[in-house]
Amino acid sequence: MTSLQSYSELELLNILISMCTTNKFPNVDNIFFQEGYRIVSIDRSVTTGSGSVKYDLVLSSPNKNLTLCFELKGLKASNISKEQLNRYKGLSTEEYIRLAGIQANNAINHKLQTIIGINLENLLKTEEYQIREGYNFPILSFGSQTISISFKELNDSEINRKLTKSVPTLGTPPTFIHFDKESRMSDLAHRAIPKIYSYAKVGTTMFTVEQIVNDVYCSVKELHNIIGPDVKKAVVNKIKSLLRQMSKEEFKDYLSWNGKDKCWMISKIHSESHHATDFAFQKAGRNFIERLDKEIPFKIDKDVPQGQLSLFDELEALDIN
Amino acid sequence: MKVDYLSEMNALFDEVLYSNHRKFKNQQIQATNQLKSYVVENHLDSINLAQSYDEKVIEFFKEINSGLTKYEFKINITKDENLFINKSDEGLMFIDTTNKRFWKIHSVAKAEVSDYFYKVLTKRKLFDQIWLPIPFLLGLPKYGELYGVGMSFTEELKDDEFDNLYPEKSHNLSMNIRRMYVHQLLDLMKGSAMKEVMGVNKISILDPSSDDNENYIIDDITYFGKITARGTSYGKHSYILDELLHNYEKSISSIENDYSLHFDNVLSTIEGQPIEITLNRKEIDLHKLVTVIFSGNKPFNLWGMPQWRNENYCKVNAVDLHNGNYGKTIDFEIFPNLIRAYLPQGTCGNSISRLLTNIHQSIDATATMKGVNKSDFFTII
């Protein structure tokens, strides 16, 4: 982010994750880890009596018997909804921690707090909105140099003390999770193309959609296990669409769908492929990404006569933007 | 002299060193059979668990030897389980596998023979040379006296108008200083406007004799792990080599254990942290830098599709094409004066020392990598 830009929701999430790591990262202090918090879930829906509740990030400390639930609003923060905040307001802690599988030795006394995370420039508007609508959620605001809590205190006095003073941030935050529902096709292509090349170089000639999604989603591979299925499904659908598009033109010599085994096959590039072949694959990648960025249309699948099934029809129906 | 044990190999090298020393002292002739040691990283131990280590090594060298075109070699076991000898009419290669990951290979054959074998070996998958960044090289005089320094730089960020007219395969800068003036040169370098291109590529160390004997060694240690010895004491050479390897292995293990990133399912948190390399060279063209590092070409061997988020921030998910870490991906973020690498668990730490060393040799000789405690990584304390 530059001084003129705001953080996206995904960037806010990545900053918070870097505050939960065992080591202090260069950009921000790992205060949540230091205070005993662990990541419970990311973007995961929990169905409760008052409806479906989906926080962007849930952290919990068994020792402190506290759970912190973050609702993040990136960029303009104009999409705060009353319905969503009402659901958080009326949430039963005991019911939520039971259904979300949060470890609590003393569920009756466990405290859960909802926190709204926004860009600093939206702080005033968000405070006014809460006053107007009668909400009391602490606001965690992310500036280009500091992160601080305001409006209401946190139940965790130590975290509250640190965030009231404000926690300094330095430079661009690290990226652990690369995609969310807002990710563009070219964001996915920048990671999927090298992964396919990597498969070829280690001698893997076929891969499934699930495999490549698991491999490209996060810089820390296992992290995708705690991400909720909704956002993952959106990414899976985009990857499916991306692979189809790739195999139609720029990558038609390198990538094909195997309907029998329901996997994608890699051709031409392999562990011993010639430097010129590898270079051509890289060039195809650049052309493909340029096509995505410039929104140049892809060819319609002309090879399938009318009334017959395309080999891609075995893939699930796509749900993409 | 037949060699069946490492101790016998030591005795042989003592003999060769002393004989070369006498030859030079009496006739002023520099011998061609100087002792050369190479440190090679390998992951042979991690493959085909059904085979014994001996079998793996023998099978590996049989396969290598069958493909050699320049010289004929034959691999031999010895009575020492850690010592293998690859023999040819032009000389012997003594392969000390005591450290399963980092082998020490010694030879008194002509340099063209031993260098050829070393190059063939380090081109194999699962094999790599070691990569010694400048702070590491400059720390080595701890094990002796600074006797000489070599510098070179292959400019990757700027083009010379004559490069296209008169293509030359040579460094833009190359110099060797020995004995007198070494310290003065290093001092000059530190204060020089050209320090960013003063890529130290070799350090010579003298471990002198004490008063009552003439045991001494002069080791020329290159950034790629070749150590040439002159003197009279293999023991001193062996000690320096051991300390070099010990320090290097410590740095590599730290990268792999403390910095590589993974999600701990029990603690439900991320362990490790990104590695940051700070570039101190002024006015770096960021686009040129990204193109040079991630084109898939030598020396960086990283293949990626750069994603520019803005003019000052680029993300690259790069495939490592170097043998030791072949085909694995590493996430990078590139900013003006900063390269951040996210090393996934299971990635070879040598990838990072290779990146930093190649940056020193062709991008910025003053680039630094800070450890958790803010001290320079790869320094020898």
Residue with tokens 């959106």: A234
Q: Which letter does DSSP use for residue B45 in this model?
A: G
Cβ separation of B304 and A175 shorter than 8 Å?
A: no
- pLDDT attached to residue B200: 93
Say if residue B13's pLDDT is above 60.
yes
Q: Say what the pLDDT of residue B280 is.
A: 94
Q: Is the pLDDT of residue B197 over 80?
A: yes
Q: For residues B168 and B298, give the distance between their C-alpha atoms in angstroms, rounded to a whole number.
A: 16
Paired strand residues for B329: B319
- Between A25-34, A174-183, B26-35, B333-342, the lowest mean confidence (pLDDT) is in B26-35
Of A38, A171, A198, the CB nearest to B328: A198
Strands B83-88 and B338-342, bridge-based pairing: unpaired
Q: Are B218 and B155 in contact (CB under 8 A)?
A: no
pLDDT digits (tens, 9 = 90+) for B80-136: 999 999 999 999 999 999 999 999 999 999 999 999 999 999 989 889 999 999 999
pLDDT at A317 (0 to 100): 40
Distance set, CA B158 to CA B161, B164, B362 (Å): 10, 13, 10
* Sequential DSSP letters for A74-135: -TT-TT--HHHHHHHHT--HHHHHHHHT---SSGGG-EEEEEEEEEGGGHHHHHHHHHHHT-
Q: Pick out chain A residues at pLDDT < 70.
A: 1-5, 77-78, 299-321
What's the distance, Cα to Cα, between the start and end of chain B in Å?
Answer: 40
DSSP code for B288? H
Compute φ and ψ for A100, nearest 5 degrees.
-85, -5
Reported confidence tier of residue B265, pLDDT bands at 50, 70, 90: confident
Mark yes or no for CB contact B273/A23 under 8 Å. Answer: yes
Are residues B16 and B217 in contact, defined by beta-carbon separation less than 8 angstroms? no
H helix intervals, chain A? 9-18, 31-34, 82-89, 93-100, 123-133, 157-165, 185-201, 209-216, 229-248, 275-294
Compute the nearest-CA separation of B142 from chain A (Å).
Answer: 31
Q: ipTM of the assembly?
A: 0.88
B47 vs A78, more confident: B47
CB pair distance less than 8 Å for A198 and B335: no
- The string of pLDDT tens digits covering residues B145-193 is 999 999 989 888 887 666 666 666 666 788 899 888 899 888 988 888 8
A23:B272 CB<8 A? yes
Per-residue tokens: B20: 């070369």
* Interface with B, mutate which of A222, A275, A286 (most B CBs under 10 A): A222
Domains and CATH numbers, chain B: 6-129 (no CATH), 134-257 (no CATH), 262-369 (3.30.160)
Q: What is the mean pLDDT of chain B?
A: 91
Half-sphere exposure of A36 (CA within 13 A, CB side): 10
pLDDT of residue A316: 43
Least confident span in A173-177, B72-76, B209-213? B209-213
User: Given this model, what pLDDT does residue B164 score?
Assistant: 64
Question: Which residue did the predictor score with more confidence, B231 or B378?
Answer: B231
Candidate from B262, B304, B318 with C-beta closest to A222: B262
A286 alpha-carbon distance from chain centroid: 25
Per-residue pLDDT of A111-128, as tens digits, reads 999 999 999 999 999 999
User: Is B315 close to A222, i.e. CB distance below 8 A?
Assistant: no
With a cut of 50, say whether residue B285 has pLDDT above it.
yes
The residue type found at B280 is N
Contact status of B294 with chain A (Cβ, < 8 Å): no
Reply yes or no on whether the pLDDT at B196 is more than 80.
yes
For residue A3, the model assigns a pLDDT of 45
B10 to chain A, any CB pair closer than 8 A? The answer is: no
Return the closest-CA partner of residue B298 out of B202, B224, B196.
B224
Is A278–B272 a contact, with Cβ atoms under 8 angstroms apart?
A: no
First to last CA, chain A: 25
Distance, CA of B67 to CA of B240 (rounded, Å): 34
Q: How far is B290 from chain A (nearest CA, A)?
A: 14
- What value does the mean pLDDT take over residues B26-52? 86
Residue ranges and CATH numbers for the domains of chain A are: 9-168 (3.40.1350), 185-314 (no CATH)
